């Protein structure tokens, strides 16, 4: 180990900043954030060191910085001088502040830029709410000590509790529920822990369109109950030893009836499992979330919903078709084209229609829209596997797309986009975006 990391308590104490330029200001800022009283000067004099807990220097003549370093060493005050490792007895790390949790990264002065890059990567995987988990642990510190005087038992309990339902709730900002869950867990500290279900959106089927929260939960799950459609890429990023249960339908497989899926989620959570219910796109859009929520609530199981990128936004981004448009797109309708549903009343002016599960019934959809008064020449597109590397696009009019799509489709999930805004798409080709096979019927 190059240096020993340590966290300084600076609240109410004096930090000396020698120098007055931009770099000095950058050094002063985190010290201020840590509660230090900043004493700043352009030139060094020994009386500046009175009551100083930490000193740093930048933007000052070398002779001044050397004097600062020498005086600090003599008095045992940790000192940092920017870009002068030989004058330092302390390094200032790149900091990730998730108060009360702090992460500090240092390359021992070798490459501060690299430390900053590492900080960004750590920040991305460290949920912003992690500080709330630490704060919750602090609130219960005394109670946990009383209930579990044995150190090993305490560790075991905290290990489970700080990655369990109470932690998830704290992370989501639901403090009262988190405290209740933590208190309940502490009550039955000797019994098996209760489970939790996360209804997680997997996005359109590209691994890097997952949210960071989804990624974290996939890494912590005991069981993943997943749709067959659109979840493969997300599953690859899940914890290796998590059990996987496929429940959605694809061609050959019948899907498990919805009541059975709901009952399965309840049973797994009652066994104390951390369950991820992984669904394509966003769980709240044509995803039967309501049924599953109702079953979990009825059984008293804690659950959380994690949004995902839905097919409509994924397809819009991938094709350059704006879902709304200042002149011609004032509303968006997300509709299902599934055969049980009525298609009347969908055609409205300046409204973009995004129809899920509509390909099989595209001729009927065209007829219903035209009967409602839509122009058969209305711009339309069909996007298959939108947002993934297999994406394909068919562009044309309501009329031409309805005629050609059944023969064009390759069997993947497809979304229909119909409306004037479809005609406003900015071509993405030639802008550094990988080309999408596109059939243009216009
Ligand atoms: N909850 C999902 C939708 C589930 S319904 C979401 O928010 O996206 C399944 C339908 O979604 C498919 O039949 C198809 O119409 C659409 N769909 C899902 N993924 C898609 C994709 N990558 N490209 C185009 N359409 C998609």
- Residue 195: the pLDDT is 85
> Higher confidence at residue 202 or residue 254?
202
Query: Where residue 297 falls among pLDDT bands split at 50, 70, 90?
Result: very high
| Segment 13-48, tens digit of pLDDT | 999 999 999 999 999 999 999 999 999 999 999 999
* CB atoms closer than 10 angstroms to residue 361: 19
Residue 426 near residue 363, CB atoms below 8 Å: no
Atom number, ligand 1, closest to the C-alpha of residue 230: 19
Q: What is the mean pLDDT of the chain?
A: 91
Nearest-CA residue for atom 13 of ligand 1: 357
pLDDT at 251 over 60: no
- Residue 62: the pLDDT is 94
Query: Where residue 432 falls among pLDDT bands split at 50, 70, 90?
Result: low
Average the pLDDT over 244-251 and give the result: 78
435 CA → ligand 1 middle, Å = 21
| Segment 366-418, tens digit of pLDDT | 999 999 999 999 999 999 999 998 999 999 999 999 999 999 999 999 999 99
Q: What is the pTM of this model?
A: 0.70
| Segment 79-94, tens digit of pLDDT | 999 989 999 999 999 9
Query: What is the architecture of the domain spanning 14-92?
Result: 3-Layer(aba) Sandwich (3.40)
pLDDT at 154 over 90: no
- CATH class (in words) of the domain with range 312-440: alpha beta
Residue 212 near residue 309, CB atoms below 8 Å: no
Nearest of 250, 202, 205 to residue 386 by alpha carbon: 205
pLDDT at 252 over 70: no
Residue to probe by mutation, ligand 1, list 234, 415, 417, most atoms within 8 Å of CB: 415
- Residue 150: the pLDDT is 84
Q: Catalytic: which of 141, 159, 249, 372?
A: 249
Q: How far is CA 285 from the centre of its chain?
A: 18
- Cβ burial, residue 219 (10 Å; 0-12/13-18/19+): middle
pLDDT at 139 over 70: yes
Residue 381 near residue 400, CB atoms below 8 Å: no
Average the pLDDT over 209-226 and give the result: 93
Lowest mean pLDDT among 72-81, 211-220, 335-344: 335-344
pLDDT at 427 over 60: yes
Nearest of 89, 77, 47, 44 to residue 62 by alpha carbon: 44
Query: Where residue 199 falls among pLDDT bands split at 50, 70, 90?
Result: very high
Query: Where residue 255 falls among pLDDT bands split at 50, 70, 90?
Result: confident
203 CA → ligand 1 middle, Å = 9
- Residue 433: the pLDDT is 52
- Residue 338: the pLDDT is 85
CATH for the 196-309 domain, from 2.120.10.30, 3.40.1010.10, 1.10.1060.10, 2.40.110.10: 3.40.1010.10
- Residue 159: the pLDDT is 82
* CB atoms closer than 10 angstroms to residue 424: 17
For this structure, is 51 an active site residue? no
Q: Catalytic: which of 227, 273, 279, 282?
A: 227
**Pairing relation of β-strands 379-384 and 414-418?**
antiparallel
| Segment 310-334, tens digit of pLDDT | 999 999 998 899 999 999 999 999 9
Residue 370 near residue 398, CB atoms below 8 Å: yes
């Amino acid at each position: 180990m190059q240096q020993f990391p340590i966290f300084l308590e600076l609240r109410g104490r004096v930090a000396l900043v020698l120098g007055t330029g931009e770099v000095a200001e950058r050094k002063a800022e985190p010290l201020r954030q840590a509660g230090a009283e900043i004493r700043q000067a352009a030139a060094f004099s020994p009386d500046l060191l009175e009551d100083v807990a930490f000193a740093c220097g930048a933007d000052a003549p070398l002779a001044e910085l050397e004097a600062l370093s020498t005086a600090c060493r003599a008095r045992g005050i940790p000192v940092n001088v920017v870009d002068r490792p030989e004058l330092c007895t302390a390094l200032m790390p790149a900091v990730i502040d998730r108060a009360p949790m702090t992460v500090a990264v240092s390359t021992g002065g070798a490459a501060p830029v690299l430390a900053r890059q590492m900080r960004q990567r750590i920040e991305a995987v460290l949920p912003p709410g992690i500080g709330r988990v630490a704060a919750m642990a602090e609130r219960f510190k005394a109670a946990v000590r009383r209930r579990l005087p044995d150190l090993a038992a305490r560790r075991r309990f905290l290990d489970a509790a700080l990655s369990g339902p109470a932690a998830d709730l704290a992370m989501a900002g639901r403090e009262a529920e988190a405290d209740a869950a933590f208190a309940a867990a502490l009550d039955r500290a000797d019994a098996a822990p209760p489970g939790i279900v996360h209804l997680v959106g997997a996005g359109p089927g590209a691994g890097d369109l997952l949210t960071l929260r989804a990624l974290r939960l996939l890494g912590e799950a005991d069981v993943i109950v997943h749709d067959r459609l659109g979840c493969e890429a997300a599953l690859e990023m899940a914890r290796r030893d998590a059990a996987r249960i496929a429940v959605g339908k694809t061609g050959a497989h019948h899907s498990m009836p919805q009541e059975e899926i709901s009952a399965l989620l309840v049973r797994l959570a009652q066994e104390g499992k951390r369950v991820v219910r992984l669904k394509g796109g966003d769980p709240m859009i044509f995803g039967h979330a309501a049924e599953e929520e109702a079953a979990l609530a009825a059984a008293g199981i804690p659950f959380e919903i994690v949004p995902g990128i839905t097919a409509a936004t994924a397809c819009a981004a991938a094709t350059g078709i704006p879902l709304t448009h200042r002149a011609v797109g004032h509303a968006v309708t997300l509709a299902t084209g599934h055969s049980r549903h009525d298609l009347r009343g969908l055609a409205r002016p300046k409204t973009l229609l995004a129809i899920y599960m509509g390909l099989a019934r595209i001729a009927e959809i065209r007829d219903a829209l035209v009967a409602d008064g839509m122009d058969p020449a209305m711009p339309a597109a069909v996007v298959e596997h939108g947002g993934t590397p297999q994406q394909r696009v068919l562009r044309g009019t309501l009329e031409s797309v309805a005629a050609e799509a059944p023969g064009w489709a390759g069997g993947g999930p497809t979304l229909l986009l119909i409306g004037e805004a479809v005609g406003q798409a900015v071509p993405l080709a030639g802008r550094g975006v990988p080309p999408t096979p596109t059939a243009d019927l216009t």
